[in-house]
Amino acid sequence: MSTQISIQKKVSFVFSAQQIVDCDTYDGGCNGGWPSNVFDYATYNYVTNNATYPYTAKQTGSCNSNAVKSANAPYKVATYRIVPYNCASMLLQIKKTPMVVALDGKALKSYKSGIFNGNATAVSHAVLLVGVDSCDNWIIQNSWGATWGDKGYARLQKGNTLLICNYGGWNVTMV
């Protein structure tokens, strides 16, 4: 959502992941969830920034209602759509705009650099698919910070590496 806000509104905005962990009742907080549920939450609730509702790396047990009032949280999801569940459709779409994708995050934990081509067992994590390189290898941005991978990014071998094509992708429009 932060990337789409930056692209559409021409402002730098880092949305609060902690707000989603604490306030999105469709998912399991720190135990995970689905991007479509987060987008459903953000369709009906304003999304604030990380400075207003900082990340604590744990579920606090309650939603900070003062932080998510519209004065502090200026954006909502207008629409989102699912990109079809195949690598060819995702490759066409990513050349137009970034999208959220689900993949096997456990296999990525030890990634440092290069083109990852490891095995996957189950989809467990969402990342931002930001593009492809000149060989059509996927380029992802992870939420684990700049100390992970290649300054917060990774390149995955083209194709269904880490099950990236199993659930398609999600494109978001913000208001």
- Positions annotated as catalytic residues are 125, 142
H-type helices in the chain, by residue range?
Answer: 2-9, 17-23, 35-44, 87-94
Which of 40-49 are b and which e, b meaning 16 or more Cβ less than 10 Å from the residue's Cβ? Answer: bbbeebbbbb
* Side chain identity, residue 67: A
The single residue listed with the structure tokens 């590496």 is 161
Residue 15 and residue 53 in contact, taking contact as beta carbons nearer than 8 Å: no
